[in-house]
Structure formats: structure tokens, C-alpha cells
Amino acid sequence: MTNYIYLASQSPRRRELLAQLGCRHELLLPDPGEDTESMERTLPGEPPATYVKRVTQLKLDAALLRLGQRGLSPAPVLCSDTTVALGRRIYGKPDDAEDAFRMLSELAGKTHRVLTAVAIANGRKRELRLSTSRVAFAPMSKAALRAYVETGEPMGKAGAYAVQGRAAAFIERISGSYSGIMGLPLFETAQLLRGFAVRI
């Protein structure tokens, strides 16, 4: 059994969710010079599921390289990525407040998908799981959207909202994994951790 893993994510929500599983972890974050933004660029015509799995694998590759370069003790490395999709259209993190307002305006009154891929590697062994959930937003007035954007909560979030935050007031229905919508699907993550003999 392995007592801990490396988490290659800057998301405090993923840390909380891993702790909820009882999984000990150390952060394996990018160096200041690493170009992490370019990994999240979409390719023309790329389906959302293909996109989120590809980005997660790229993040895992970068984390494994980081592990070797820093000469750290070997342990499983876990990465995750979340995207929001309406049809085949991918909604990543908003560029600014106006972009957040645009995204939320397009999602309002509709049901969209939240796709979270989680991958783990140790040595040559590597596995990935994908969680897909559906979130139904109620119709929202422009004033309500503006007020939400002004809180700053949408920034840095795929689809410009946080399910565990103030956006919950707009959500009529959820089908799937609540933790997956937050950024780390616990059922799939627990399966992966057990498969890599990680103590949880």
C-alpha cells in the first residue's frame, strides 16, 4: 500500500475532495516558467470529452516530468481537468468579466454537461476515468447575471460558475456527480486510487 500521492492541481476544491476521501497528498505544482495555459487550448472541431481527456493527459505528462526533474520520492501522481459543454461547444475559464457574463448568458435556461477527467500514473502504469454530469440552469435576468459576475466567483472556473458557491441559487437540477462538477469525481477517483494501492 502507498500512503500518499502527489496532486498536480492548484485547485483548493480538489485538495478538499481528496481529503474527504482520506487520501494523504502533497502538491506538485508547476514552476513559474511553465506554460500551463497552452495545454488548455481547444483544437478545431474537438469534441468536449476528447478535449478534457487530452488536457488531463498533458497535465499528467507535465507533472511526471516535474517529479523527475525535482528528484522527489516516487509516488502516484494524480491530475484532473474539468470542462463545461453545451452541445459540442466547450466553455473553459472566462478571460474576464465580460466573457463570464457571455458564458452564463448562453448557459442560462438550458441544461449543459460538466465533464471531468481524472488520471493517475505511477511508473509505467497509467489510467484515466471520465465523469459526465448534467446541470440545468434556470433562466436568469441580466441583472442577476451581472450581480453574480461582480462577486468574482466565476473567474478561474470552467463555465464561469462554482456549483458549491453562489451559483447554486440558479441550478434547478443536477444529474450525475456533484463532486465531479466541483472538479474531482470521488467515485472514479477512489476506484483509481484503489487500483494503484493507495491507502484511503
- Count other Cβ atoms within 10 Å, centred on residue 200: 15
Q: Which residues have C-beta within 8 Å of that of residue 84, sequence separation ≥ 6?
A: 90, 91, 92, 103, 107, 112, 113, 114, 115, 158, 159
Q: Which residues have C-beta within 8 Å of that of residue 38, sequence separation ≥ 6?
A: none
Helix spans in the chain (H): 12-21, 48-70, 97-107, 142-150, 178-182, 186-195
Query: Whole-angstrom Cα distance, residue 44 to residue 38?
Result: 14
**C-alpha angle with apex 7: 42 to 78, nearest 5 degrees?**
65
Query: Whole-angstrom Cα distance, residue 187 to residue 42?
Result: 27
Query: Whole-angstrom Cα distance, residue 166 to residue 91?
Result: 19
73: phi > 0 → left, psi -120 to 50 → alpha, else beta; which?
beta
Check 31, 35, 61, 81 and give the catalytic one.
81
Active site residue 61: no
Q: Which residues are catalytic?
A: 81
